[in-house]
């Protein structure tokens, strides 16, 4: 390439970067204005709210389940406002990026432009799309991806879903017509289930079921979510087990104070077990994508969510139940993103049924005792909760290992060596440690493309939680104090030896939970 071509290419790249910067400034400014307007229009911020199960995340109480008196959160936590503050900070950081003094146009220099582009990517926040009803007229042939950034949900692009009239040409006497090839029920938008639930929308699907939105005509068109279990023996048994767990949790919490999703009732429809739940708005994975992509949520939101998740763990511990799949995808929030509920108990079990398996819990949220094959208890959920909370604050996965072996290495990079007493108790210890408890790191050789095992004798921590929680920001004292408390709580929840992990009762009494943030102290961020 000739020098002139290099210069032309360089100028073109700078112009592209300048355009990207300008477009994303406009995008964030629009979202900031929207969040500010929504925050100002929320009347429940201006007057003391009336307690209700949909607007009050935690109610003061002194029952036998907990010794912690908890007061109303709504007066000190406004999701839209605190996220608008965090977005303002991101804009300030971008505006503080130095420009090339030699450029009369203020264009970023060749070195600074890529850095600014990385900052923009980190601060990218999507405008949340409202939930729309599905109609037959809106259906388009499109591949469904429930994890896409922007999903146009309609009756034709989701598995196991059919629009009205789509079955007119089918033989209704054949049972197979109601299910697809994998046993998912073919939901027809507009059909009525159990003579009372009018289906109007599709929420998503998982391994065990698909979920629809419906209106309960028997309860004044109350909006509900209906989980329809797949029609096969294994899934049916799993669904009945989940039903038993949900009933036990609901019975132990009749006043709905401990943040486990409420089951209203269940019924059977064309050989499918159907469970009717309260309707929530988003899961925390979606909240992160829409409001905190790569930058995370405000510490005030994280504090509130931490408290509510720990209360859900307390209820499960009282009932002797392990969730075994806590992650952002399985935690739901209501429309104003204040009330939180733990959901999806399809992997849950009683403490007596804790079978040793190295693949329990989604990998990124899997505790070290599971990987090693050490007998486990409720502490696996405490570990998963801690990893989830880190992700909520930073927007990044704490331990993104591709294998169980890599997961252990990433954990030790943060927490140091796994204690020998834990390693020796592990059923699967030989896969990861030698006889002297030295770590055996499995990796693929870049040259031969064959697996090689490296013995690591002195694996020392190389990552610092506080550094990762702070990122590149400089916080004012009140926020810094909360982040410091948050780091301390996470360190104690992420102890590699489950027997020495922070007891749940102490976690609920931790200063990060008990010391609340005032409205004035939740807005104080400035760029470095």
Do residues 338 and 282 touch, judged by C-beta distance below 8 A? Answer: no
pLDDT for 228? 97
Helix, strand, coil distribution of the chain in percent, nearest 5: 40, 15, 45
- Count of CB atoms situated within 10 Å of the CB of 339: 23
Structure-block tokens of residue 378: 């409720």
Buried-state track 310-328, b at ≥16 Cβ within 10 A, e below 16: bbbbbbbbebebbbbbbbb
Is the alpha carbon torsion for 257, 82, 118, 527 positive or negative?
negative
d(CA 449, CA 281): 46
Do residues 372 and 285 touch, judged by C-beta distance below 8 A? Answer: no
Chain centroid, CA 405 distance in Å: 24
What are the start-end ranges of the H helices in 284-372? 284-291, 299-319, 368-372
pLDDT for 129? 36
- Count of CB atoms situated within 10 Å of the CB of 471: 16
pLDDT for 120? 35
pLDDT in tens, the chain (528 residues): 444 443 344 444 445 556 655 665 666 666 666 666 665 555 444 433 333 333 333 333 334 454 443 444 444 567 777 777 676 665 555 455 444 433 333 333 333 333 333 333 433 333 333 333 333 333 333 333 333 333 344 444 444 444 444 443 444 554 557 899 899 999 999 999 999 999 999 988 888 899 999 999 999 999 999 999 999 999 999 999 999 999 999 999 999 999 999 999 999 999 999 999 999 999 999 999 999 888 999 999 999 999 999 999 999 999 999 999 999 999 999 999 999 999 999 999 999 988 999 999 999 999 999 999 999 999 999 999 999 999 999 999 999 999 999 999 999 999 999 999 999 999 999 999 999 999 999 999 888 889 999 999 988 999 999 999 998 878 888 999 999 999 999 999 999 999 999 999 999 999 999 998 766 565 444 433
Surface-to-core class of residue 331, CB atoms within 10 Å of its CB (0-12 exposed, 13-18 middle, 19+ buried): buried
d(CA 32, CA 82): 11
Structure-block tokens of residue 129: 């799309």
Do residues 184 and 230 touch, judged by C-beta distance below 8 A? Answer: yes
pLDDT for 134? 38
d(CA 477, CA 480): 5
Give per-residue pLDDT as tens, 197-227.
999 999 888 888 999 999 999 999 999 999 9
Q: Is the CATH number 1.10.510.10 carried by domain 282-526? A: yes
Residue 77 Cα distances to 209, 337, 522, angstroms: 34, 10, 9
The pair phi, psi for residue 355, each rounded to 5°, is -70, 140
Residue 63 Cα distances to 67, 95, 223, 258, angstroms: 7, 51, 30, 12
d(CA 400, CA 397): 6
d(CA 114, CA 273): 53
- Count of CB atoms situated within 10 Å of the CB of 258: 24
Active site residues: 325
The pair phi, psi for residue 369, each rounded to 5°, is -65, -30
Q: Give the length of the chain.
A: 528
Looking up tokens 């109609």 gives 135
Which of 306, 490, 502 lies closest to 414 in space, CA to CA? 490
Give per-residue pLDDT as tens, 430-461.
999 999 999 999 999 888 889 999 999 988 99
Surface-to-core class of residue 407, CB atoms within 10 Å of its CB (0-12 exposed, 13-18 middle, 19+ buried): buried
Structure-block tokens of residue 112: 């600074």
Chain centroid, CA 28 distance in Å: 22
Surface-to-core class of residue 359, CB atoms within 10 Å of its CB (0-12 exposed, 13-18 middle, 19+ buried): exposed
Contacts of 352 by beta carbon, 8 Å cutoff, 6+ apart = 320
In DSSP notation, 124-138 reads --PPPPPP----GGG
pLDDT for 314? 98
Structure-block tokens of residue 134: 């599905």
Do residues 386 and 435 touch, judged by C-beta distance below 8 A? Answer: no
d(CA 108, CA 335): 40
The domain locations on the chain are 3-42+78-122, 136-278, 282-526
Q: If one looks up domain 136-278 in CATH, what number appears?
A: 3.30.200.20
Chain centroid, CA 420 distance in Å: 33
């Amino acid at each position: 390439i000739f020098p002139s071509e290099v210069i032309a290419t360089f100028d073109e790249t700078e112009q592209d970067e300048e355009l990207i910067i300008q477009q994303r400034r406009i995008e964030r400014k629009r979202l900031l204005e929207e969040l500010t307007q929504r925050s100002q229009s929320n009347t429940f911020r201006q007057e003391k709210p009336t307690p209700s199960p949909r607007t009050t995340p935690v109610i003061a109480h002194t029952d036998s389940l907990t010794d912690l008196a908890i007061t109303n959160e709504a007066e000190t936590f406004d999701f839209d406002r605190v996220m608008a503050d965090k977005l303002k900070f991101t804009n300030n950081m971008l505006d503080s990026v130095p420009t090339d003094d030699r450029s009369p146009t203020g264009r970023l220099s060749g070195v600074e432009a890529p850095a600014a582009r990385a900052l923009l990517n980190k601060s990218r926040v999507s405008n949340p799309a409202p939930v729309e009803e599905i109609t037959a007229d809106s259906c388009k042939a499109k591949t469904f991806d429930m994890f896409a950034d922007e999903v146009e949900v309609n009756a034709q692009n989701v598995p196991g879903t059919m629009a009205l009239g789509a079955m007119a040409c089918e033989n209704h006497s054949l049972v197979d017509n109601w299910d697809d090839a994998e046993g998912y029920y073919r939901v027809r938008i507009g059909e009525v289930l159990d003579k009372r639930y009018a289906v109007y929308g599709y929420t998503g699907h998982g391994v065990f079921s698909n979920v629809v939105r419906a209106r309960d005509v028997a309860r004044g068109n109350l909006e509900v979510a209906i989980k329809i279990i797949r029609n096969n023996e294994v899934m049916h048994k799993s669904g009945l087990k989940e039903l038993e767990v949900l009933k036990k949790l609901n019975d132990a919490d009749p006043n709905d104070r401990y943040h486990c999703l409420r089951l209203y009732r269940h019924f059977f429809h064309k050989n499918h077990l159907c469970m009717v739940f309260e309707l929530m708005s988003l899961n925390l994975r979606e909240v992160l994508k829409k409001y905190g992509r790569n930058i995370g949520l405000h510490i005030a939101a994280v504090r509130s969510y931490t408290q509510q998740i720990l209360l859900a763990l307390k209820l499960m511990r009282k009932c002797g139940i392990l969730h075994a799949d806590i992650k952002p995808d399985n935690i739901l929030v209501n429309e104003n993103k204040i009330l939180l509920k733990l959901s999806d108990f399809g992997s849950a079990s009683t403490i007596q049924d804790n079978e040793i398996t190295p693949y329990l819990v989604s990998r990124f949220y899997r505790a070290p005792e599971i990987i090693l094959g050490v007998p486990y208890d409720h502490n696996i959920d405490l570990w998963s909760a801690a990893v989830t909370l880190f992700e909520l604050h930073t927007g990044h996965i704490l331990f993104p290992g591709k294998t169980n072996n890599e997961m252990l290495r990433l954990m030790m990079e943060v927490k140091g060596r796994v204690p020998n007493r834990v390693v020796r108790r592990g059923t699967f210890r030989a896969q990861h440690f030698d006889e002297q408890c030295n770590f055996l790191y499995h990796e693929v050789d870049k040259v031969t493309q064959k697996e090689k095992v490296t013995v690591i004798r002195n694996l020392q921590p190389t990552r610092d939680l506080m550094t990762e929680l702070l990122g590149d920001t400089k916080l004012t004292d009140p926020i810094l104090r909360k982040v410091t408390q948050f780091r301390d709580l996470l360190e104690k929840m992420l102890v590699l030896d489950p027997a020495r992990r922070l007891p749940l009762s102490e976690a609920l009494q931790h200063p990060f939970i008990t010391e609340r943030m005032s409205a004035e102290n939740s807005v104080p961020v400035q760029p470095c």
